[in-house]
Structure 1
Amino acid sequence: MHECLDHMDEGIGRVSEIFPDLPVQEVVLTRLLLLVGGTLLGELESKLKPHGLNDSDFRTLMMIYSSPTGSATPTELCEYAQQGATNMTRIANVLVKGGLITRATSAEDRRRVVLSITTAGKRLVRKILPPLFPNVHGAFASLSAADKRTLDRLLRQIAVNIDTLTQPDAGP
């Protein structure tokens, strides 16, 4: 990983010579976030693959699992999972086919669909999650509790900044 980081720094340095206005520190931080996120995602997906799931599938299953009612509508899931309607339909189909969730019409509004976790879905979550804990702990092992709180606060600030930039009325 050190070699990869050195290569990244050297490459960004060369680009900054060509583009003197390049926001070097922000580019480095962006690349680090992408590198760390990509590595964590790759590790997670390798653990999910034997269960026939990818990150989007598992994230959706976890949102349904963690909801107070054990259910959610596709619209709610699209918003929180940052997925489009077409991809959410694909994800729901995978989870329904795997027996992890059910799809039913809402009793209150027959136009709405409700996705609910099954006993098999709950069992799979209980099987998948605990083996992930050591890697999650290990990724943050060298950080103090204060470091983790600071990182949490800073990443949330960046998320809000990005959200503000992507709003339709955001402009210069």
Structure 2
Amino acid sequence: MRAFSTLFIAAAFALSANAASVSKRDISPAVQLCLDSITSAGAQLEVVNTAVLAFTSSVGIIGANKIHTLEQVLETRLKKAGTDCCVQIGAITLPEADAVLATVEVLVPKVTSALSAITSKKSQFDAIFLATAIVKNDIKALDTQTKTLDACLIAKTPIDPPSYLITANGYVTEINNAFSAARSAYGI
């Protein structure tokens, strides 16, 4: 569930940049670490989403706890991405921004899909004592991590040309809307 946050953050930087056009030598080691952390969080988001899609109430609280454990890994990876992207690097160059946007561009639909899956599985979680409470906490924690990372990445996005920031803000809005729908479905 926390994996959704990573997708949201990545989406904030997603532009229609072509990763092939960015030379590795144009990317500083600090930005590469950020890219690697975002990629790692995105991979864990896929693991969480797969587990959520397969979840049924018949697996009980043990199954819900397995998803929660996977979410905790995602949350840890999001925190690392926050440190690697927000603390370790300053302003980024246009080639670095292209690389970040190209890396995270594919994450927005994955984030929205994962949040949609959580929403669609609400009745399954509701059927298990305490499972919905766990999911609510995971949604809140991932939303918080995502917002922190979104704000940091938006702050580092170049403002010239304006299309970078416009696109980044559009993806952040899409992610925020998906979180809003999940929060609403769970009464958060």
Is the pair's TM-score, using the shorter chain for normalization, greater than 0.5?
no
Which structure dedicates a bigger proportion of its chain to strand? 1
Rg larger in 1 or in 2? 1
Instruction: Give the TM-score of the pair, scaled to structure 1.
Output: 0.30
